[in-house]
Structure 1
């Protein structure tokens, strides 16, 4: 385990990094950080997920999700043993996956019921399988300063008493749903649950709840880790688009899991929240 006292700079000095890149801005930020530090890396870009500009000018291989053998062979040729998963990945159906021989072998090892499990169980099985292949899986925030949310407010806006009560209600809902491995986010207004995140993701959740808002102000998006979350691959994440979607839905603010959520492009997120009148708060424990 990495020494908590070790700096990000110290943590990045040994071993070539393999980046498994999905969608969004996090893979590009990680690549830029490693490049600035002169650290060697190799990128596995997930076809249909990663943005083309993320891979420009980088040592990389673009593969489909089911081509596990191709990806692992490339990582081994590059001398990679440390892996970081970065970016969003849409979960495919088995038909879409089209697993190669290596993927089929790993699926058999995990058991076919893994595809009927929730995301946490699936991701935990993926990490265990990769560790069985000789790789170490690490968290992106081990190298990216400012990615992990901290407790307290970011920006100039603050929650009022009604919003604080909605945060408490949202936390209670997510804590109750967490053992079922369902969603990381909920929207609450005036004590009413307007929507729970499912497979559609947070931005789609916010678009869905906008027309459901009651008269009057308020409304909060709450995002938390689930119990037994595989934190090395999947943590709740917000970015500029999340803040914009929350404001468009008429919400007062966003509360995220301090120490357990990522804020992508923190400066831009705070600027957007300040400009749109949305509060941002990192929360700990079971209450705001």
Structure 2
């Protein structure tokens, strides 16, 4: 395990807490820079070295990371993209967006520019999966249940749509039932996508959720992620299964996620991202 002090830039979900626990177990020094309105204080822990900033305070955040002595940085957990009115940028953030220009319109361009900005400050940005090495799913069935012929056809259809959307830097997830695209992910995120699809379920075999890494994606940040809540929401939406990008996505709380999927009759599979519709 590297001994460089790890700065954890914490968004929502369980990943920041998982990283904190991994650092404690390995003895690696760490510091949490938590994003207000997104990070979970209870999961991070009151005794963790930490600072809290709002989204528009890049200058304060970078200064806190330097003062804490961080060398490596990892960005973990979803962050809802703010409007400019919500952002209220400090001088450093305003300068960053002015320099970014049209690249700020897409998530991929924004994240790549953010990584370049942090590395320009002397930090080394690493991926979550380089620290939590058990998170990336393998190819094939991951739980007890497996997709049937219809589900495999729906997965292939969703993969084709995901690849097109991803190339346009739109989203990472698609829901397909019986060959019909029920919904695609944009800025709202996967949970909201699944909630929308509840009212669109058709009679007959349930659909599938497919989450793929974008073709041009910077894989150190924003990998497609599935956890226990995704499983619950997929079942509530009437789906039969979830397909994840093998080797290029994150399966949070693997045992709990797959255990819940097994109990609810939902399949979870790793796919290559190259599946072709029949």
TM class by shorter chain equals over 0.9
Which residues in structure 2 correspond to 1:86-105 (within 5 Å)?
Answer: 86-105=76-95
Distance in 2 between the 1:242 and 1:155 partners?
A: 15
Q: What residue ranges of structure 2 are gaps of 5+ in the alignment?
A: none
Distance in 1 between the 2:79 and 2:142 partners?
A: 27
Report deviation, 1:130: 1.1
Report the counterpart of residue 185 of structure 1 in structure 2: 173
Q: Following TM superposition, where does structure 1 have runs of at least 4 consecutive aligned residues deviating by more than 4 angstroms?
A: none
User: Does the 8 A contact of 2:165 with 2:172 survive in 1?
Assistant: no
Distance in 2 between the 1:65 and 1:235 partners?
A: 20
Find the residue that maps to 1:39 and give its secondary structure.
coil
Find the residue that maps to 2:112 and give its secondary structure.
helix
CA deviations over 1:117-165 (Å, ceiling 9, x no partner): 2111111111111111211110011011321121111111010000000
CA deviations over 1:73-129 (Å, ceiling 9, x no partner): 111111112100011111111121111112122223323x233x2111111111111
Distance in 1 between the 2:2 and 2:219 partners?
A: 22
Residue in structure 2 matching 1:107, options 97, 100, 111: 97
Residue in structure 1 matching 2:142, options 134, 146, 154: 154
Residue in structure 2 matching 1:34, options 16, 20, 23: 23
User: Does the 8 A contact of 2:172 with 2:185 survive in 1?
Assistant: yes
Report the counterpart of residue 134 of structure 1 in structure 2: 122
- For the aligned residues, what is the CA RMSD? 1.2
Residue in structure 1 matching 2:132, options 113, 119, 144: 144
Residue in structure 1 matching 2:256, options 268, 273, 278: 268
Distance in 2 between the 1:51 and 1:32 partners?
A: 14
Find the residue that maps to 1:193 and give its secondary structure.
strand
Find the residue that maps to 1:256 and give its secondary structure.
strand
Report deviation, 1:203: 1.0
Report deviation, 1:245: 0.7
Distance in 1 between the 2:40 and 2:110 partners?
A: 24
Q: Does 1:286 align with 2:266?
A: no
User: Does the 8 A contact of 2:212 with 2:273 survive in 1?
Assistant: no
Distance in 1 between the 2:258 and 2:161 partners?
A: 26
Q: Does 1:220 align with 2:229?
A: no
Q: Does 1:254 align with 2:263?
A: no
Distance in 2 between the 1:86 and 1:178 partners?
A: 20
Report the counterpart of residue 123 of structure 1 in structure 2: 111
Which residues in structure 2 correspond to 1:67-86 (within 5 Å)?
Answer: 67-86=57-76
Distance in 2 between the 1:108 and 1:209 partners?
A: 37
CA deviations over 1:28-74 (Å, ceiling 9, x no partner): 00100000111100000001110121332100001111111111111
Give me the TM-score of the superposition, normalised by structure 1: 0.93
May I ask how many residue pairs the two structures share in their alignment? 275
Q: Does 1:52 align with 2:41?
A: yes
Report deviation, 1:235: 0.6
Deviates more, 1:270-279 or 1:150-159: 150-159
Find the residue that maps to 2:33 and give its secondary structure.
strand
Distance in 2 between the 1:273 and 1:146 partners?
A: 18
User: Does the 8 A contact of 1:162 with 1:218 survive in 2?
Assistant: no
Give me the TM-score of the superposition, normalised by structure 2: 0.96
Report deviation, 1:236: 0.5
